């Protein structure tokens, strides 16, 4: 297999990147991989190597989003431009700051856009409690409607205790 | 105590066995977690990173699951030790390159390893020999649950665990298995398998993960999607894909023996010839030939060769492990000579391959 860049030497570095259902593949020889900085994976972007076809696709994607370079994350000072450059966020609050344009990107990366996995135990408990209060409230409403005041009083006290 | 006194020597570590370890060399599940209100490691300034390390390192160290453990800040570890940890697949190459403000905690069994301030504040991984992705998940799930009681993890009910890179969002889970697939490579069928795995949303990478070549016919298969499916669903899906790849590899080996036995025996015989007789050999050639030797053992051509020995040699002939066995600083050429010396010596007790009786 020959190097995609110089098309002379045998390719020794093989890169595959999958975005959604699109696969990008690059095969490089040792010299070209060094030149492109592939040996330092932290500073490397496949698109830089594949300037051309892939770069155009990326351009299309980014053009579709409005320029929001001025928005800054209040917690960490990260900007939309920083995200476009690095592909990573500055802190967990960035997901709120830059949340609006996120959905289309997440759709191409993941199976869905809603978390259905593990929930921290503390939250799970409060979620269960919230659910229970909701149910009690429903029963209370019904009891009041039926003028079943004894049960209603009990339910009201129980809700009070839980809150 | 340094890392070498702490970890089991390769000869011992390679004795560890697991289900289907003829093909699945090891399983791993890693979780990415971050603290609330703290900049992610790559955006954080050094004092921020140091503060996070000061919070996380003792929290991880105090977990009963980690005992006995080894823990260090990355800038305390010599470059050679960091490289050895990479060769043992305990930390990523990226983490080995980190300096002040990053750290690690490893338990003695090498079944749990936590990287602090890698791409995320916490990259916690459970490792097991052979095909054990479920056991890995249970182990790391327990570590995560124990830690969430003491730490404030960044979590959103909608998006799940919030990670530096949106590709890890949600469950923050990466399940991977390291597969030895010489049969599929020899049968020239590996590209089809890689493409099929990619289509299902799984990444297939080389020996040391992202951007590395599949040396020694070893491939890492891992999930790409982390959001929109539960951990159990992801495990189920990748488990099915892995079973299928294992079956394909078994079939490929069987078919090669039936239809192209001369070619297979030739490869294995030559691999033995070179490894047992070379006077200078690169680590890359060594890994590729050791892979064939391992296959030879499994096909019955080398009855006295144990899997533990090939796996140990696989590790000991890597640059950092080789350097560690010698006090003086070696350059690449000197390493190639010492590597060949070691291989000749260790393979003296292994008789040459014989074609098994039909």
Q: Do A110 and B169 touch (CB under 8 A)?
A: yes
Distance from CA of A106 to the nearest CA of B (A): 7
Q: Could you tell me if B191 and B48 lie in one domain?
A: yes
Contacts of A146 (CB under 8 A, 6+ apart): none
pLDDT at residue A2 in the model: 73
Q: Is residue B103 part of a domain?
A: yes
Give the list of residues 6+ apart from residue B344 with CB closer than 8 angstroms, or none. B276, B277, B278, B279
Structural domain count of chain B: 2
Domain end point (choices B218, B252, B286): B252
Question: Helices B231-259 and B261-277 meet at what angle, rounded to 10?
Answer: 100
Residues in chain A, total: 163
Q: Which of A87, A91, A118 sits opposite B43 (nearest CB)?
A: A91
Q: Over 70: is that where the pLDDT of B298 sits?
A: yes
Summarize pLDDT for B202-217 with one digit per residue, the tens. Answer: 999 987 666 666 789 9
Structural domain includes residue A126 = yes
CATH number, position B215: 3.30.590.10
Residue A61 has pLDDT above 90, yes or no: no
Separation CA B274–CA B281 (nearest Å): 9
pLDDT above 60 (res B334) = yes
Nearest-Cα residue of chain B relative to residue A79 = B43
Q: What is the DSSP letter of B356?
A: P
Alpha carbon distance B3, B354 (integer Å) = 40
- Of B197, B225, B252, which closes a domain? B252
Q: Which domain holds residue A151?
A: 121-162
**Interval B5-50: pLDDT, tens:** 899 999 899 999 999 999 999 999 999 999 999 999 999 999 999 9
Q: What is the residue whose two structure tokens read 């292994």?
A: B350
Interface contact flag, B213 A110, Cβ < 8 Å: no
Judging by beta carbons within 10 Å of its beta carbon (0-12, 13-18, 19+), is residue B167 exposed, middle or buried? Answer: buried
Q: Is the pLDDT of residue B295 over 60?
A: yes
Q: Is A159 within 8 Å of chain B by CB?
A: no
Closest Cα in chain A, distance from residue B166 (Å): 7
The residue ranking higher by pLDDT, B35 or A35, is B35
Residues B289 and B325 in one domain: yes
Whether A66 has its CB under 8 Å from any CB of chain B: the answer is no
- Same-domain pairing of B309 and B181: no
Predicted confidence band of residue A120 (pLDDT cuts 50, 70, 90): very high
Q: How far is B44 from chain A (nearest CA, A)?
A: 8
Across chain A, mean pLDDT equals 76
Q: Which of B139, B175, B174, B173 is nearest to B64 (CA)?
A: B139
Q: What phi and psi values does residue B182 have, to the nearest 5 degrees? A: -65, -30
Does residue A162 register a pLDDT over 80? Answer: no
Determine the pLDDT at residue A54: 44
B131 has a pLDDT exceeding 70: yes
pLDDT tens digit sequence for B136-155:
999 999 999 999 999 999 99
At residue A58, does pLDDT exceed 70?
A: no
Host domain of residue B264: 260-346
A30 to chain B, any CB pair closer than 8 A? The answer is no
A110: nearest CB among B210, B226, B230: B226
- Interface residue A107 vs chain B (CB under 8 A): no
pLDDT of the residue at B263: 94
Q: What is the rounded average pLDDT for all residues in chain B?
A: 94
A19 vs B150, higher pLDDT: B150
Q: Which of A34, A118, A126, A127 to mutate to test the interface with B (most CBs of B within 10 A)?
A: A118
Rounded distance, CA A122 to CA B276, Å?
A: 59
For B212, the token pair is: 């590395």
Please report the pLDDT score of residue A38 as a whole number. 61
Verify that A45 and A75 share a domain, yes or no: no
Q: Identify the pLDDT of residue A17.
A: 63
Query: Is the ipTM reported for this complex over the cut 0.90?
Result: no
Closest-CA residue of chain A to B284: A12
pLDDT at residue number A30? 73
Residue A91 belongs to some domain of the structure? yes
Q: By percentage, how much of chain B surpasses pLDDT 70? A: 98
**Residue A121: both structure tokens together:** 């135990």
CB count in 10 Å sphere of residue B91:
25
Contacts of B201 in chain A (CB under 8 A): 18, 111
Q: Say if residue A52's pLDDT is above 50.
A: no
A5 pLDDT tier (thresholds 50, 70, 90):
confident
Residue A135 forms contact with B (CB below 8 Å): no
Number of domains in chain A: 3
Q: Do B149 and A121 touch (CB under 8 A)?
A: yes
DSSP state letters, B123-192: EEEEEEESS-HHHHHHHHHHHHHHHHTTS-B-EETTTEE--SSGGGTBT-EEEEEEEE-HHHHHTT-HHH
Angle between helices B332-347 and B307-316 (to 10 degrees): 160
pLDDT at B175 over 80: yes
**Phi, psi at residue B127, to the nearest 5°?**
-125, 145
Which tokens in the block code for residue B169?
């969002």
**Residue where the block lists tokens 């429903």:** A138
From B330, B224, B165, select the one nearest A91 (Cα to Cα): B165
Q: Is B354 a domain residue?
A: no
Evaluate whether residue A53 is within a structural domain.
yes
* Greatest alpha-carbon span in chain A: 89
Choosing from B221, B252, B283, the residue where a domain stops is: B252
CB environment B316-335: b (16+ within 10 A), e (fewer): bbbbbbbbbeeeeebeeeeb
Looking at the fold, whether B24 and B153 belong to one and the same domain comes out as: yes
- The answer, yes or no, to whether residue A136 has pLDDT greater than 90, is no
Per-residue CA distances from B224 to A2, A17, A19, B56, B198 (Å): 28, 10, 9, 27, 9
pLDDT (0 to 100) of residue A132: 83
Q: How far is residue A11 from each of residues A107, A159, B216, B284, measured CA to CA in Å?
A: 33, 69, 17, 15
Within a domain: A3? no
Average pLDDT, integer, range B113-130: 97
Alpha helices, H only, A65-148: 80-86, 94-97, 102-109, 121-145
For A29-33, B97-101, B218-222, which range has the lowest pLDDT when averaged over its residues?
A29-33
What is this structure's pTM? 0.80
A69 and A79 Cβ atoms separated by less than 8 Å: yes
Joined together, the tokens standing for residue B179 give: 């597969």
Residues 6+ apart with CB under 8 A from B128: B18, B26, B27, B28, B111, B135, B136, B139
- Stretch A117-134: mean pLDDT, rounded? 82
Whether residues B169 and A93 touch (CB distance < 8 A) is answered with no
């Amino acid at each position: 297999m020959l190097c995609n860049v110089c098309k002379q030497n045998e390719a020794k570095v093989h890169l595959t990147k999958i975005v959604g259902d699109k696969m990008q593949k690059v095969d490089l020889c040792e010299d070209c991989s060094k030149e492109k900085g592939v040996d330092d994976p932290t500073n490397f972007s496949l698109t830089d190597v594949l300037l051309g076809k892939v770069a155009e696709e990326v351009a299309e994607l980014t053009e579709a989003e409005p320029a929001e370079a001025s928005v800054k994350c209040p917690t960490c000072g990260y900007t939309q431009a920083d995200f476009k450059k690095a592909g990573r966020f500055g802190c967990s609050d960035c997901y709120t700051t830059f949340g609006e344009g996120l959905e289309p990107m997440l759709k191409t990366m993941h199976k869905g856009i809603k978390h259905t996995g593990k929930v921290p135990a503390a939250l799970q408990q409060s979620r269960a409690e919230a659910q229970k209060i909701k149910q009690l409230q429903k029963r209370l409403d019904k009891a009041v409607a039926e003028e079943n005041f004894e049960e209603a009083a009990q339910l009201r006290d129980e809700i009070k205790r839980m809150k | 105590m340094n890392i070498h006194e702490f970890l089991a020597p390769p000869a011992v570590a390679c004795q560890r066995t697991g289900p289907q370890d003829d093909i699945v060399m090891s399983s791993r599940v890693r979780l990415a977690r971050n603290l609330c209100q703290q900049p992610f490691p790559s955006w954080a300034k050094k004092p921020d990173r140091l503060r996070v390390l000061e919070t996380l390192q003792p929290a991880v160290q105090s977990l009963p699951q980690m005992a006995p453990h080894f823990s260090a800040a990355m800038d305390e570890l010599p470059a050679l030790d960091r490289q050895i940890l990479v060769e043992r697949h305990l930390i990523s190459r990226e983490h080995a390159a980190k300096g002040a403000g990053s750290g690690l905690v490893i338990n003695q069994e090498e079944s749990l390893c936590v990287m602090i301030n890698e791409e995320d504040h916490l990259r916690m991984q459970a490792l097991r020999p052979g095909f054990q992705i479920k056991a890995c998940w249970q182990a790391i799930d327990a570590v995560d649950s124990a830690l969430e009681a003491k730490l404030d993890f960044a979590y959103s009910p909608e998006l799940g665990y919030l990670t530096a890179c949106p590709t890890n969002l949600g469950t923050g889970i990466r399940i991977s298995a390291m597969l030895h697939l010489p049969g599929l490579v020899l049968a020239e069928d590996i590209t089809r398998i890689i493409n099929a795995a990619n289509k299902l949303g799984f990444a297939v990478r080389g020996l040391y993960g992202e951007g590395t070549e599949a040396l020694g016919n070893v491939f890492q298969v891992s999930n790409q999607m982390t959001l929109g499916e539960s951990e159990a669903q992801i495990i189920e899906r990748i488990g099915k894909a892995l079973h299928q790849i294992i079956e394909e590899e078994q079939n490929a080996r069987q078919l090669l023996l039936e239809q192209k036995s001369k070619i297979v025996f030739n490869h294995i015989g030559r691999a033995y010839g070179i490894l047992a007789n070379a006077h200078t050999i690169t680590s890359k050639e060594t890994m590729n030939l050791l892979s064939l030797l391992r296959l030879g053992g499994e096909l019955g051509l080398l009855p006295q060769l144990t899997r533990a020995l090939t796996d140990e040699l696989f590790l000991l002939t890597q640059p950092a492990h080789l350097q560690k066995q010698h006090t003086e600083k070696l350059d690449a050429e000197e390493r190639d000579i010492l590597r060949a010396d070691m291989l000749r010596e260790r393979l003296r007790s292994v008789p040459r391959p014989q074609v098994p009786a039909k």
